Structure 1
Amino acid sequence: MSFSPTRRFAFATLRSFAAGWPATSGRGLIDARTLLPRPEIAGYLAGALLAFTAALMFPAPACAADSAPRPAEQLAAVPLYQFTEPEVGAYLAHLHTTEPDLRQRIVHLARKNLGQPYELYLLGEMPFETYDPQPLYCIAKSDCLVFTEHTLAMALTADWTSFMRLLQRIRYRDGQIGVVTRNHFTETDWNPSNRWLATDITAELAGPRAVKFYEKIDRSRFLKNRYKLDVSIPVEDHRDTFFPYAEAPTLAAQLQDGDIIEVVRGVVKKGAPANDIFGGSAWIGHVGLAAHGPEGTLHIIHSSDPKVREETLAAFIARETAHNAERDAAGKPRLLGFKFLRLAADPLANLKKLDGPDAPHVTLPGGGRL
């Protein structure tokens, strides 16, 4: 029997809940005194029913590829973004059997998604919240962060359910699903929340070449402007460093396959000193994955309009800086440099130290577990 993308999404969500169903120690699901579900499963049950019902009621995202499952031997020649959800799960199991090296799995999956169509702002919290009515995952399309997160989560897991859970642990602070707890700001949310996965090595690589930059992160204003939410969060004064772009291609020997490349962009003020980000402002505006070409050349694999591509870091820099003079004159953002994150040797072991042996710990807005 073949199901529509909407129904596949619903059943995939329900399977994710089943995998994490809380134990009741053989006491049954109903409390005999109250004739209600036991407290330890009440929130979980409500979340499961909400997820299943909403997934059936709301149209499935265009993110879900709609084709019948194909035999495993055919998938090797099919782009990853054309897989169905069951095919993704089967392929991850196959890949973990045939490629034991995490970094090589990351590069393999990234390259298998070359050509994936680009679309910005693909993901949200549906069906658990409605502030951002986008789904929790997307296979058919990506933006730069969606591509990077999906690739890393897939490389670390061997089935669909594990992939879905780990993806949400990467996307949300402490795995708490919600628009407020989503890792919106790369430098101040995503990087600190995912230190179990990758660590910042920018200052180590740059040494005296490192350039400092500063930001004021106003999450309350961001959430109010984008989602009409009134949330009180103190403004954060963030201090950071980046590696100047001109010398970045020389880092081929220092960077490893699967490391994370973050692109720092900003506005340059005429005549300002370079060691003060040119007197302007800077932020992380793009992200991709490091890989190496046949001759050891440093490459970046990333999702950028119109599709996922692989190119040398030197080519990326040349294209990004071709119109720097015009951008500076107009006060528009342009490439300043990069941050580099080193993939951990054993991310899942690190995560278990934080979340416990049943990691990843993923929590729904209502308090249930995913």
Structure 2
Amino acid sequence: MSPPAAAIALPLVLGLALWATPPPRALPGATNQTALPRFCDAAPETLPALVREVAVLAGVRSRVLSASERFLGVPYQFDPLGEGPGQPPDEDPRLRYDLADCQTFIETVLALARARSPQEVLPILDEVRYDGPVGYSRRNHFFEAQWVPSNSRKGYVREVTAQIAGKDAVRHVKAITHRQWKERTLGERIDLPEERAPIGDHALAYLPLAKVLAHAKAIPSGTLFAVVRADRPQLPTMVSHVGIVVQQPGGTFVRHAGRDLYSQVIDEQMAHFVERNALYTKWPVLGLQLLEVLERPASE
């Protein structure tokens, strides 16, 4: 006697479901676990309450750590933010919590850490991401040439590499000429008017990669870091990645939106991060630039 169709179908469906569900992604040297409620899991009506939980914390470092922890496990997507619908060439939303790349991750965290209410998050994020009105050409595309100078002037961040690294800090000037900009082999799709092209000399400091672990414990939790790579004339930037330093009972970690190895926001052991970055030979990593997130002004 043939078994009922349902008796065949149910195991088949379960088998297909098990086959279709990938095993948990391995996270070597890292974790994506948090006990805090994540922004991306909140319903629209409860999201403002989570934002307020961050806003009421005392001290900008506490707010940076709380806001950033609520992104752990969020999937990586390159360039998930744009200027919004009807604003070509990048019509992605101006604010979102479900996807992040390394730069939009720290930008959104910075906005959350400075906001006093849910209504302030987007205006602050716009200030962080743009040097002027919201528009693709006004976006701070290049970290050392645009992002750091713009947000230093506005009082959002301050470079503290030399303060933390002392005599181990290395200063460098990235020079970009008109010819180098026109012949660039990175960021070719970023079409900017001449007045917004990152032409000129751009100074930055970095803690050499070989000395990062010696100074790791001295880096305050909540400090931003930027991965500085070798100066290549055909490349308009030396910064390839950014994130947040987090001091935990288990040691020093970097909280960042990892691309290839992790494809999500994770906490990675600093030692593991340094070891991985030391392996890059095609575009060698020189070290880390360190930026302090500044406290919001006193309420009037």
- Return the TM-score normalized by structure 2: 0.75
Instruction: Give the equivalent residue in structure 1 for 2:215.
Output: 251
Q: Report the CA distance between 1:338 and its aligned residue.
A: 0.4
Whole-Å separation in 2 of the counterparts to 1:208 and 1:77? 39
Counterpart selection for 1:336 from 272, 275, 286: 286
Whole-Å separation in 1 of the counterparts to 2:203 and 2:36? 45
**5+ long unaligned stretches in structure 1:** 1-75, 269-279, 358-370
Asked if 1:226 is matched to 2:189, the reply is yes
Instruction: Give the equivalent residue in structure 1 for 2:51.
Output: 92
CA offset digits 1:9-55 (Å, max 9, x no partner): xxxxxxxxxxxxxxxxxxxxxxxxxxxxxxxxxxxxxxxxxxxxxxx
Instruction: Give the equivalent residue in structure 1 for 2:93.
Output: 135
Going from structure 1 to structure 2, the CA distance change for 1:95 and 1:126 (only over 3 Å counts) comes to closer
Q: How many residues are aligned here?
A: 255
CA offset digits 1:117-160 (Å, max 9, x no partner): 00111122123621222221221010001111111211222433
Q: Report the CA distance between 1:104 and its aligned residue.
A: 1.5
Whole-Å separation in 2 of the counterparts to 1:208 and 1:320? 22
SS of 2:137's equivalent in the other structure is coil
Whole-Å separation in 1 of the counterparts to 2:163 and 2:266? 28
Whole-Å separation in 1 of the counterparts to 2:140 and 2:297? 19
Counterpart selection for 1:163 from 118, 121, 124: 121
Whole-Å separation in 1 of the counterparts to 2:113 and 2:187? 35
Whole-Å separation in 1 of the counterparts to 2:192 and 2:147? 21
CA offset digits 1:189-220 (Å, max 9, x no partner): 11111120111111233333233333234697
Counterpart selection for 2:201 from 215, 237, 245: 237
The answer to which structure, 1 or 2, has the higher relative contact order (CA under 8 A, 6+ apart) is 2
What is the letter of the counterpart of residue 242 of structure 1?
Y
Whole-Å separation in 1 of the counterparts to 2:216 and 2:293? 15
What is the letter of the counterpart of residue 296 of structure 2?
P
Going from structure 1 to structure 2, the CA distance change for 1:83 and 1:265 (only over 3 Å counts) comes to farther
Whole-Å separation in 1 of the counterparts to 2:228 and 2:83? 27
Contact 1:267–1:334 at 8 Å: present in 2 too?
no
Going from structure 1 to structure 2, the CA distance change for 1:236 and 1:87 (only over 3 Å counts) comes to farther
RMSD: 3.0
Whole-Å separation in 2 of the counterparts to 1:107 and 1:207? 25
Instruction: Give the equivalent residue in structure 1 for 2:67.
Output: 109
More helix per residue: 1
Instruction: Give the equivalent residue in structure 1 for 2:264.
Output: 307
Asked if 1:203 is matched to 2:165, the reply is no
Whole-Å separation in 1 of the counterparts to 2:119 and 2:273? 35
Whole-Å separation in 2 of the counterparts to 1:205 and 1:257? 12
Q: Report the CA distance between 1:242 and its aligned residue.
A: 1.3
Contact 2:54–2:67 at 8 Å: present in 1 too?
no
Contact 1:267–1:281 at 8 Å: present in 2 too?
no
Counterpart selection for 2:224 from 241, 255, 260: 260
